Structure 1
Amino acid sequence: MTQMSPLNWLTLMFFFIMIILMINSLNYFSFYYPFNNSKYLKKLNIKPTWKW
């Protein structure tokens, strides 16, 4: 039954694309940045000094 071969490839491609998207989204959203307000407040008060 070679007529069913394109359907099989299409479902496999769809399956692997969905797995890749799921892994990428999990990696993107699971990363945690520690948020400290004191660091960001100190950075806001610093004014650059140009020496030229």
Structure 2
Amino acid sequence: MPQMAPMSWLMLFFYFFVIFMLVNTMVYFSFIYPVKTVKSFKTPLKISWKW
């Protein structure tokens, strides 16, 4: 029936909106930052005074 179309569109919108929010929260909270392993070797600065 065409009279009931707005109701089904509204339910469809809420259905997709809830799934969208659910996926967004799952992606936001399950994001794992990559472990940063930086090996920085400080080379000693060799200053040779020529005077």
TM-score of the pair, normalised by structure 2: 0.61
Aligned-pair identity (%): 49
- 1:5 counterpart = 2:5: yes
Give the C-alpha shift of residue 32 in structure 1.
1.9
Deviations 1:3-25 (A, max 9, x none): 11000000000000001000000
Q: Which has the larger radius of gyration?
A: 2
Runs of 5+ consecutive residues of structure 2 not aligned to the other structure: 36-51
CA distance in 2: counterparts of 1:7 and 1:34, whole angstroms = 45
Identify, as 1 or 2, the structure richer in helix: 1
